[in-house]
Amino acid sequence: MTDIEDKIMAIVAQETRRDRASLSLDTELSEIESLDLVQIIFAIEDEFDVYVPQEDETFKLDNLRDVVDGVKLLLAEKQDQSAESA
């Protein structure tokens, strides 16, 4: 498990008050209450200093694997932008 996956799983476990062991990358976001999901997104944005686009059709969020992959993509884009501006 990568550091990003571990941090996201910890955030999800904390915000949903679930045991970390009960979560997997295949956990569907539809299983998470919408208010918890909003808190998860805010916590991810704070933890990784990124903006998670919730209405962007290219940013598919069906399960936790999608969230992890999306955050990795956002971090890569952020790194590319930093490199270009340096």
Where residue 26 sits, what CATH number does that domain have? 1.10.1200.10
Given pLDDT bands bounded at 50, 70 and 90, which one contains residue 49? very high
Domain around 66: 3-85
Sign, CA torsion 29/64/13/22: positive
Cα distances from 48 to residues 5, 13, 22, 68, in angstroms, run 12, 17, 23, 11
Tens digit of pLDDT for each residue in 74-84?
999 988 888 88
pLDDT: which is higher, 20 or 55: 20
Tens digit of pLDDT for each residue in 57-78?
767 789 999 999 999 999 999 8
Q: Output the pLDDT for position 78.
A: 87
- Residues 3, 19, 31: CA angle, nearest 5 degrees: 90
Kindly report the pTM of this predicted structure.
0.88
Partners of 63 in the β-ladder: 28
Three-state DSSP state, 48: helix
The number of domains in the chain is 1
